[in-house]
Amino acid sequence: MSVANAPAVTISRDVVARMSALVGAKNCISNPSDLRTYECDGLTSFRVMPGLVVLPASTAEVVAVVKLAWENGLALVARGAGTGLSGGALPVPGCVVVALTRMKRILEVDLENGFLRVQPGVANLDVSKHLGPAGTYYAPDPSSQSVCTIGGNVSENSGGAHCLKYGFTSNHVLGARVVLADGTVVDLGGPALDAPGYDLTGIFVGSEGMLGIVTEVVLRMLRKPQATRTFFATFPSTDEAGNAVSSIIASGVVPAAIEMMDGLAMRAAVAATGVDWPDVGASLLMDVDGPLAEVEHTSRHSVELAREAGALEIRIPKDENERALMWKGRKSAFAAVGRISPNYIVQDGVIPRSTIAEVLHEVTELSKKAGLRVANVFHAGDGNLHPLVLYDARVPGQEKAAEELGGAILRLCLRLGGSITGEHGVGAEKVAYMGEMFTEADLETMQRVRCAFDPERRLNPGKVFPTPRLCGDLPGPYVPHPSELSGEATRG
Amino acid sequence: MNATAPAAVRAGASADAILGVLPKEVFSPSTVEEAAAVLEEKARASASVGFVGGGTALGLGRPPRRLDAVLRTEHLTRIVEHAPSDQIIVVEAGITLADLQRAVGAHGQRLALDPPLPERRTIGGLLATNGFGPLRTRYGSLRDLIIGVSLVRADGVSAKGGGKVVKNVAGFDLPKMMVGSLGTLGLVATVTFRLHPLPESDVTLVARARTARGVRELASAMRGAQLEPAAVAALLQGRLFDVAIRFEGFPAGVAEQRDRLRQLVGQPPGSDCDVLSETEARAVWERHDALRTAGPLRAKLAFLPAALEALVEGPFAKLMGALGEASFVLYPTLGLGFVAGLPQGAVLVAQAVESVRGSLAGTGGSLVLEEAPDDVRAHADPWGPPPPSFALMRELKNRLDPEGRLNPGRFVGGI
């Protein structure tokens, strides 16, 4: 479902000149060959040429850019590092891409109150690096964390390996400064909890750039746990590995992370990173963290359960270097698949954890039927599958077959009560599946939320919702409360 | 239409009044479909509707501008699905927290949420009011536990958001939207939660602090020592704070954290920090619950944790002074607290409330009156000034309930 050949739409020279004056000539890209850098994000099979790319350096510059776009009826697409895998930052023809990568300052660190305030272009890992000396960190850790930005994480509600215990971006964002489609600046939430009113921060995080452009984020920082214990276990097949996951979770242990890879994914990681993993059917990589005595117990107990479930070998890293290498093997698994296949599609389905073994058998069947290999990497603790469908785009029909196989896997997830996306977002890629997960009424309700923030639908159009629609007119004016009329209360 | 039976209905009686406003009719649907049919009918009649669960938080907010009908969720008490191995549960909104906990407890699980009055409070009511207890220290609030919601909109249309799996980013986050929305965006019909394993063991300790600063320093020392308490609550007792701290988990970890905390506190170590027996522990957490539900006036405070002393030594003292039998429950790691007592003069209390609000305003803190006598209400808005994003909140309300028929006027800023 590629939209590679959408026609280029140009923005008038006058608007380009004014944008250029707002952000500086070198931060305003209109040359077609330079624009090409921004025609896709991590989902490279979808490409659309933007009309213009601007790189503002402050909230004030974002406001100026947004207002100018608003006056000229231009669509806006915000973008961070462009690592997203669902096409969330895919331009629409003739849009203005607002790249926030120059806004990468950490504005405030408040150790006593446990929060920090950052600009959206700060890389995820840089936050934890910055906090490291104080013994604190920022918990969400998407695999792309060394480059992906906090702004992108906020838009997509990014997850990572450690979500099972610590939650997602939305559990760690306390507030945000947001520029709405008409240029209005609004502060949502903040470091103090439970501000009266609706949880607009909760609504904003994960809204895929459709509700506003974030220019500051208030993040919660956590104290580093006293201890972390990691082990790596190999299994004859994903059946035994899946059973190990189930029995560890059932025992009351809440792993910080529990990751599964099948044999094909392991072989790719070996080829790419040089980890010395054996050629077996499946493996688990698990972290527990917390107070020392607690993790000594939970790690020992989990290792026993893995053995009982049929583990072939258990490896416990000798030191932090070995542990880092194990995680490097896991985190590079997507890219590693490039070593064993010219092309691949990453899927992001979620299933109830208890169905892992059943699902993997069905995926194997589907893969055989399609004649394509599937490598499986996933966050097993929360049932988030990342099947990597391998194909060769040079072989006629294979790309289409791979897309169909990916789709069949998503439908399988839905049939079992799961989701079409656990952490990558709907973006442009999974728009077509939204109607299979949600009813027309569900989507229309979400659309109302969008209309409250962006009635003209100027921000990141074409994402999330399968059918474009207008924001209906509102019947009747707001009726003020008598206490407002008397001046006792205000509407702000 | 469909063959849904009409919901049970009766005329409103004085016990059904919300903040003194009497509804004409009271509906008690026995299924979500019946509830949707009621809302559809009320939409046709342009009637205003309020929702009532356990009725424990009816003092929250302003009196509704209009109240044609009340919809009670007392018969929507089913467990729709509990998947122990997936650690999720789907329940109807009218189930009490205690009933939910009993059902999942039989499988060694719990919803990590422990507000007072679990036998009376319903899941829908807790969601509408963002209810919480001491476990928030470790597990966060409802927004961190909810993974799916189905609601019935003002127009009677049913819609859902989220799902049944813990990890899911498909579509906008309607579950979080409903948390704390006080029945102004729709009827919460069903809620899906992630569950946690029941801990194998737990221990409660009580440390004494002479000042608010002492409480904050203790919280900070625990953080420094990488202790991970499941619950921390300071109860003001006379002029001292009893700081109740609970560790949960596997026995070895609980014992080790208990011992390390005693090392941290007092001179000699542990001198001012008692390890409670099971009975004593139950008593201290019951005292917490009693203080949380006490008093004809009850206010919730939110502030930055490090601002505690400034708060307590500042206008807060004036508020405490204006209350008879004043009590204070403090969650020092969260920056949240509850003050309760008997107002000694409505104007005095209202002035103190405004002073506290003024002192909190700069840092985004807030004071909300959860319960207050009418004479205090006459002088102080229960919500205080609306937040800077209020225009967006009003717009959201207008999109979801364009005619303003759901709990009109009761919420922040008259929404």
What architecture does CATH give domain A106-223? 2-Layer Sandwich (3.30)
CB contact under 8 A, B414 and A452: no
Contact (Cβ atoms closer than 8 angstroms) between residue B289 and residue B334: no
Q: Indicate the SS3 state at residue A376.
A: strand
The domain limits of chain A are 13-99, 106-223, 227-415, 437-492
List chain A residues with CB under 8 Å of B176: 170, 199, 202-203
Note the pLDDT of residue B1: 45
Q: Which residue has the tokens 């800023």?
A: B413
Note the pLDDT of residue A8: 59
Choosing from B176, B197, B218, the residue where a domain stops is B197
CA distance A386 to A483: 54
CA distance A265 to B412: 52
Residue B139: closest C-alpha in chain A: A166
Fold of A227-415: Vanillyl-alcohol Oxidase; Chain A, domain 3 (3.40.462)
Q: Which of B130, B179, B414 sits opposite A484 (nearest CB)?
A: B414
Closest CA to A215 of A156, A149, A164: A149
Q: Indicate the SS3 state at residue B56.
A: coil
List chain A residues with CB under 8 Å of B174: 445-446, 449
Q: Which of B179, B252, B334 sits opposite A294 (nearest CB)?
A: B252
Same domain, B207 and B247: yes
Amino acid, single-letter form, for residue B23: P
Domain of residue B332: give its range: 293-377
CB contact under 8 A, B399 and A448: yes
Same domain, B241 and B304: no
Amino acid, single-letter form, for residue A486: S
Q: Which of A198, A421, A474 sits opposite B402 (nearest CB)?
A: A474
Residue B63: closest C-alpha in chain A: A481
CB contact under 8 A, B393 and A297: no
CATH number for the domain that contains residue B307: 3.30.70.2740
CA distance A417 to B168: 11
Contact (Cβ atoms closer than 8 angstroms) between residue A491 and residue A482: no
Same domain, B301 and B235: no
CATH number for the domain that contains residue B144: 3.30.465.10
Interface test with chain A among B203, B392, B395, by most A beta carbons within 10 Å: B392
Q: How far apart are the first and last CA of chain B?
A: 32
Q: Which residue has the tokens 């009490």?
A: B96
Contact (Cβ atoms closer than 8 angstroms) between residue A171 and residue A204: no
List chain A residues with CB under 8 Å of B169: 156-157, 159, 168, 206, 419, 421-426
Same domain, B86 and B171: yes
Q: Is the ipTM of this complex over 0.85?
A: yes
Q: Which residues of chain B have pLDDT under 70?
A: 1-4
Q: For A278-312, b where at least 16 C-beta lie within 10 A, e where not — what string?
A: eebbbbbbbbbbbbbbbbbbbbebbbebbeebebe
Same domain, B171 and B255: no
CATH number for the domain that contains residue B268: 3.30.70.260
pTM for this structure?
0.95
Indicate the angle between helix axes B212-224 and B251-264, nearest 10 degrees: 130
| Number of domains comprising chain B | 3
Choosing from B262, B289, B316, the residue where a domain stops is B289
Contact (Cβ atoms closer than 8 angstroms) between residue A161 and residue A379: yes
CA distance B163 to A417: 8
Distance from CA of B20 to the nearest CA of A (A): 16
List chain B residues with CB under 8 Å of A416: none
Phi first, then psi, for residue B85 (nearest 5°) are: -75, -20
Choosing from B245, B271, B289, the residue where a domain stops is B289
CA distance B155 to A323: 55
CA distance B402 to A293: 55
The pLDDT profile of chain A, 492 residues, written as one tens digit per residue, is 444 444 557 899 999 999 999 999 999 999 999 999 999 999 988 999 999 999 999 999 999 999 999 999 999 999 999 999 999 999 999 999 999 999 999 999 999 999 999 999 999 999 999 999 999 999 999 989 999 999 999 999 999 888 889 999 999 999 999 999 999 999 999 999 999 999 999 999 999 999 999 999 999 999 999 999 999 999 999 999 999 999 999 999 999 999 999 999 999 999 988 889 999 999 999 999 999 999 999 999 999 999 999 999 999 999 999 999 999 899 888 888 888 999 999 999 999 998 988 899 999 999 999 999 999 998 999 899 999 999 999 999 999 999 999 999 999 999 999 999 999 999 999 999 999 999 999 999 999 999 999 999 999 999 999 987 788 755 444 444 444 444 444 333
List chain A residues with CB under 8 Å of B334: 193
Interface test with chain A among B90, B169, B374, B400, by most A beta carbons within 10 Å: B169
List chain A residues with CB under 8 Å of B414: 480-481, 483-484, 489, 491
List chain B residues with CB under 8 Å of A295: 253
Q: What is the DSSP letter of B187?
A: E
List chain A residues with CB under 8 Å of B357: none
Residue B226: closest C-alpha in chain A: A226
Q: Which of A157, A252, A419 sits opposite B197 (nearest CB)?
A: A252
CA distance B21 to B11: 14
- Please enumerate in sequence order all residues whose Cβ is within 8 A of that of A44, keeping only pairs 6 or more positions apart, or say none: none
CA distance A452 to B392: 7
Note the pLDDT of residue A478: 42
Note the pLDDT of residue B268: 75
Q: How far is CA B39 from the centre of its chain?
A: 26
CA distance A133 to B6: 64
CATH number assigned to the domain with residue range A13-99, chosen from the 4 options 3.30.70.250, 3.30.499.10, 3.40.50.2020, 3.30.43.10:
3.30.43.10
Note the pLDDT of residue A473: 57
Within a domain: residue B265? yes
| Strand pairing category for B25-28 and B69-72 | parallel
Could you read off the pLDDT of B19-46 as tens digits, one per residue? 999 999 999 999 999 999 999 999 999 9
Contact (Cβ atoms closer than 8 angstroms) between residue B154 and residue B405: yes
